[in-house]
Each structure stands twice: as C-alpha cells, then as structure tokens.
Amino acid sequence: MEIKMTQTRRLLALATVAVLYTGISGCASTGELASLKSQIDQASADAAAARAEAAAASRDAADAKAMAGTATNTANQAMSLSQETDSKIDRMFKKAMYK
C-alpha cells in the first residue's frame, strides 16, 4: 500500500511540475506573441509608407513623361518651323542671285 501511495505522490508531483512548466512557458509565449505583434504592426506600417511613396513616385514619373512628351512636340514644331524658314531663305537667296 505504501508503494502505491509513493507512486501516486510521484505522479502528482510530476503533474504539478508539468502544469507549472506549461504555465510559465505560456506566459513567455504571450510575451513573445506581443513582441511579434508589435513587429508585424511596424512592418505593416512600413509597407503602407512604402506603398504611399511608390504611388507618389509613380505620379511623378507620369508627370515627367507627360512633360517630356510636350517638350518633344514643341521641339518637333520648332524643327519644322526652322526647316520652313531655311527653305524660305534658300528660295529668297536663289531669287536674289537670278536678278
């Protein structure tokens, strides 16, 4: 009977240690979860900021592309006018030479 009582006490002691260990590691896990949640929240905020910066950069690039298109059109018009003027000057020079 005493052997059975010793085994019961030993089993109860092991169960108590297991419960205490689980409780302690559960608290540590809760702290780790809070830290992990904080890191996730920070990463999410960083990602949102990066998305906002990327959107702004995209808008700036679109504006720059539109300005480049306008500048190209203006340069093409200037080139055309220059060629017309050059042709007129050539015609006037030739006309003056024939006189």
Instruction: Say which DSSP state 20 is in.
Output: H
Give pLDDT tens digits for 35-94: 878 888 899 989 989 989 999 999 999 999 999 999 999 999 999 999 999 999 999 988
Q: What angle do CA 14, 21, 12 make, to 5 degrees?
A: 20
For residue 72, the model assigns a pLDDT of 98
For residue 32, the model assigns a pLDDT of 74
If you average pLDDT over residues 10-24, what whole number do you get?
A: 68
For residue 77, the model assigns a pLDDT of 98
Count of domains observed in the chain: 1
Which pTM was predicted?
0.52
Q: Which domain holds residue 16?
A: 1-99
Q: How many helices (H) and strands (E) does the chain have?
A: 1, 0
For residue 28, the model assigns a pLDDT of 54
